[in-house]
Amino acid sequence: MKKEKDLKLYGIFGHPLSHTLSPAMHEAAFRQLGINASYIVLELVPAAFKKMMSRSSELVLSGFNVTVPYKETVMRYLDEVRPEARAIGAVNTVYRRGKRWIGTNTDMEGFLIALGRDGKFHPFGKNAVILGAGGAARAVVYGLSREGAREVLITDCFPEKARRIANAMRRLFPKTLFRAVPAGNQKVKEALQKADVIINATPLGLKPGDPEIVPSSWIPEAGRQKKLFMDLVYNPAKTSFLKAAKSKGHKTLNGLGMLLHQGARALEYWTGRKAPAETMREALFLALKEKRG
């Protein structure tokens, strides 16, 4: 039996975190790989998170994930941020190299893998609407643009955040047309008509009483041109956003695949081992089933 002192600790920082399934898939992966490690939930309010990260050299963790609302905040506390994560402007995975903390972004990789494998969607030459302008939205916009999307519209209730993403991405991807508009603007409704993929990158949909991310009346009937509606929320599996799109005849995809694939890449950064993706997928499905009772 391995000694308790050899136990490695990993975890996730965010707020709130009652919905997270990350512990289930990472614990299953550690068991499958024979790694003596545990994955813990670290739900902290902003002040507590900043205080802890200001003393990051004292953390006993061997690596960690970062989720809403700290994907951008965490960057200032790290010793190094990998170039792609720096370009995206958000970090979701942090790993150690000696005594140094290094930040990367596996959200973008996880998103693209899920989009292609599960959604059967390829961004090249396509039009996209991104709902939200946080850290996850940054990864999504970067991924779509890197893969050759023709036009990307970003909308948020804080328009300046959307504009910052659009301005940053224009410099990196001059062949893609970027637009930023306030949430609820008529231009969002117009963009939904011609978009090939619409992605909810906000937390709206996590709770039953959440307002609509866009009015369901704005979603056009599918007809011959079925669009892909993707929600980065994975619990519940069918948010009101996806239900509204499905009722109009469109294809839908939730965020479980993205969660799986970003988690698999994170584990590979932490351990240097190939992630057992199918074991992690099974653990996610089981955890979801238990949460739903």
Would you please indicate which residues are annotated as catalytic (active-site) residues? Answer: 71
Q: Residue 19: what residue type?
A: H
Residues 6+ apart with CB under 8 A from 194: 127
- If phi > 0 it is left, if psi is from -120 to 50 it is alpha, else beta; for residue 249 that is left
Q: What is the pairing mode between strands 197-200 and 228-231? A: parallel
Widest pairwise Cα distance in the chain:
63
Burial class (CB in 10 A: 0-12, 13-18, 19+), 4: exposed
- How far is it, in rounded angstroms, from Cα 97 to Cα 119? 35
Amino acid (one-letter) located at 71: K
